[in-house]
A and B are shown apart, each in its own frame.
Chain A
Amino acid sequence: MNNLIDKGFEKIAEEDNNKKLEEDKKLYELLEKLNKENAYEGIKEMPFLCTNKTPIELELIYNKIKEKTKLPIKTLKDYFEKYFQKINNKEYAEEPSLNNALVKEANLRFEDPTLIKHIYQELDKYHKEDNKEKIAVFLIRASAELLDPEDHCSGALKGKSAAGKDDTIKTVLRHFPDKDSFFLTRGTQSALEEEASQVKCIAFSEANAERDNGANKELTEMFKQFSEGGVHVVRRDMITGEVIHIITEQKTLLYSTTETVSDDELQTRFTVIPIRSNEEKNKIVVKAYLEKISDPKLYSELNYKDNWIKTGITTLDHSLEISVPYATVLTDSFKNEDTEKQSLFDMSKERIKRDVKRLMSLTKSITWLYQKQRIIKEYDGKKYIISEPQDFKLAFYIFIDFFDLTYIGIDYRILDVLKVIKELEGTQSKEIIEKGYDKIKYADYVLRHTVQEKCNISSVNTIKKYVDELKDKGLIEVYYDELIPRGYLIKSKTNYQSAYQEGIRAHHLKAIDTLMKPYFDTLKKDNPTEAKAVYERFTKFNDFMKTFSKDLTPSNLTPSKSEEISPNMEDLRMMILDKPDISLDRLFSLKFSKEQIQSALNQNLFPQTSLDKWKLEGTIYSDKPNHYCLN
């Protein structure tokens, strides 16, 4: 017998056994901890048990813990899946651990009735302004956490370039677990089909479906499928020849775009969130940025990866279903100010089907966030969070503006133009008659260039695009006499609201309290104690909203001036026709290039008087008869 080797083997076996015994002891202690109130103390010790384990060993540990723990199974599953993945990918990433202080902070805030204000304040640290907008995007993203895939809502952020669309998305996504979201600038269809099931939310930085070669244009159809119903694909693997069946449930999609027009189907599936900007917002954003970089403490705080919302969302129970017991009373009619009977939802409109479904999903999203303050009931082996009327009221209040915008189908920038047209109607008859138009026929019209100036649109092309859009939608009529310079006439046709389906309107907000009365009455009969508590919370919420609604006023910001298209030759031609005596300095200040002006000189577009004047000034010279060059 070889003592050294054989005894060595014996010792190794003994050590392994001891290690196993020690691990079993740790597992036992962990299970004890998981069973107690502070289950998250226990989860911190899991890395010890899970490192360097085979999938089978991990599964055994998982099953043991699952049997005993009080932890949400989803959280536990997520945690273990990470380890399974690590073994499969042979990657040993940093061990996830929950920051105790953040868990404590999250618990406190998620148990506070003013949770929505805490969320707003946290988001506001990273993204200034767009108050209602960022909360709306947050709630849309939160809907991805709901158990029922049909409740996953999607949003499209529209606005001019540099308005802060991507920043809003990034701000919201940083408050959710990183592994649950993709933030992409580009993606291919097949890769998305395969990878989408791994995440809860897919965000695209830019999706321009209407533009030639627009970013992610080819994914428009996929966006539609993901956002409604999910994706079911069967395809053959090119290498193995195996048929693969990919099923991905409905996802939450977020995308930003600078386009004003949208595919009709895409538009109705996504809640349009407008992101605007103006000088005031720019000031606030720049100031906040400068403050951030000047203060190391603030800088490190804002760059810290974890936050209480993210931690809180990880610790919330993802296995809970949501029940909305007051849903049926919402279809009852109520009397409006003119004592006419009215309904909260206009059932004669087609769009109301989607409106109601989406609104209820967002209500559920709020209920889910407030789960620590709601009653949880068990029915048929499943646990349900019981939604309370204030959840619906909050969802209604936040999304009311965006729902209208979504269904009117017109971008807010174009609506602003229409608004100005309506304001100017009847005030320009004198100018129109002076231009030589018929007094009776065109007195109510408005001159396009006046609208352009009033809307602060510097590019002629942009106002042309907006006017064409309004014309196509049948909201304005136009008249133009080619012989009259700067004489493009516009007039609004009908009230744009009556031309489009009217969905949920702001004045309905007041009716919610009235509608909820029968619900509270029934609840009082069935369970007086519960009814009292629910009603108290509802009243408190109403008081809270009185002050909080001021914070949430949607940004009444004018569109950004940053997206300016440089004027083209056609604009220059029109400019010269309109103002024959325009100076060269003025043309340069209007961003016409040297080449464009030289081209206009070559084409003899300027009147002779101007040419003579500029020649005397020395700004141009003549190299041959009737030909002038810029100095």
Chain B
Amino acid sequence: MMKAYHMTEIISESYSLGVSERIRQLQDMCNMYGDFRVAIANKAPDGEVRWTKHYSVMELWGSDKGLWLLSKANNRTIFPCELVLDIDKDPTPERLDNICQQLEDLKIPYKAYFTGSRGYHIHIIDPGFLSLDAATAEKIKKVWIRTFDCDILKSSTKTMIAIENVEHWKTGIQKKLLRKYP
């Protein structure tokens, strides 16, 4: 089992750019979609992957130390109103285009990102999910994920994904927006 590290053990290895933007982005997300959890993942020099505990954004927001930790977070949980299509199998630009086109045909608004690692994430925010019970929402998420043959694990709101516009913990490459609709 992976060991959970304390924030301070990892911070020193973390990134230094865009501190206030990062915090504001997470605070905005929290304001718009409700509280969620964040974590810091890092690779030690010996190659060991280290994960912190999952912290609630609302909790971190309340203290200076918390804000400082928020600025270092590079992973977050999926929002209850969010559907993430993680193209992990055969992550080619053509496949991304194909899925995006299908979504556009269905008039489903989305934001497609390059994760900074190897795949693509398509984030679809739909407040309609909030009016459903958790099981049904997950069922609908699963059916869409299956339709596009993406990673089924991303149907759970407990799964961590890379935060938008932040460097990926594996590669240090930023998660960038590639395409959006409308």
Contacts and interface: CB of A to CB of B under 8 A. Distances in A.
A372 B132 CA distance: 60
A4 B124 contact: yes
Contacts of B107: 3
Contacts of A12: 139-140, 143
Q: Chain B interface secondary structure, helix, strand, loop or mixed? A: helix
Interface residues of B, number: 16
B139 A4 contact: no
**Chain A interface extent, by class:** 10 to 19
A281 to B, nearest CB: 55
Contacts of B128: 2, 4-5
B132 A3 contact: no
A4 B108 CA distance: 7
Nearest to B132: A5
B124 A8 contact: no
Residue with the highest number of chain B CB atoms closer than 10 Å, among A2, A4, A12: A4
B106 A9 contact: no
Nearest to B83: A4
Interface string A5-39: 10111011001000000000000000000000000
Contact of A7 (B106, B129, B132, B139): B106
B12 interface: no
Contacts of A8: 139-141, 143-144
B143 A4 contact: no
B108 A11 contact: no
B108 A15 contact: no
A11 B139 CA distance: 10
B143 A3 contact: no
Contacts of A2: 126, 128
Interface string B113-153: 00000000000101011001000000111011011000000
A7 B144 CA distance: 9
B143 A11 contact: yes
Contacts of B108: 3-4
A15 B108 CA distance: 21
Given A3-B106, A3-B108, A4-B108, A11 B147 contact: yes
A4 B143 CA distance: 11
Residue with the highest number of chain A CB atoms closer than 10 Å, among B106, B129, B143, B146: B143
Interface string B24-38: 000000000000000
Nearest to A7: B106
Contacts of B132: 5
A617 to B, nearest CB: 75
Residue with the highest number of chain A CB atoms closer than 10 Å, among B83, B132, B140, B147: B140
A4 B147 contact: no
B129 A15 contact: no
Contacts of B141: 8
B106 A15 contact: no
A7 B129 CA distance: 13
A9 B126 contact: no
Interface string A198-213: 0000000000000000
A11 B144 contact: yes
A7 B140 CA distance: 9
Interface in B65-110: 83, 106-108
A355 B146 CA distance: 70
Contacts of B83: 4
Contacts of B140: 4-5, 8-9, 12
B144 A15 contact: no
* In the complex, the 7 A-B pairs of residues with the closest C-beta atoms, listed nearest first: A8-B140, A5-B128, A11-B143, A2-B128, A4-B126, A12-B143, A3-B108
21 contacts: A2-B128, A3-B106, A3-B107, A4-B83, A4-B108, A4-B126, A4-B128, A4-B144, A5-B126, A5-B128, A5-B132, A7-B106, A8-B139, A8-B140, A8-B141, A8-B144, A9-B140, A11-B144, A12-B139, A12-B140, A15-B143
Interface of B: 83, 106-108, 124, 126, 128-129, 132, 139-141, 143-144, 146-147
Interface of A: 2-5, 7-9, 11-12, 15
Given A4-B144, A7-B106, A8-B144, 11 more contacts: A2-B126, A3-B108, A4-B140, A5-B126, A5-B140, A8-B139, A8-B140, A9-B140, A11-B144, A12-B143, A15-B146
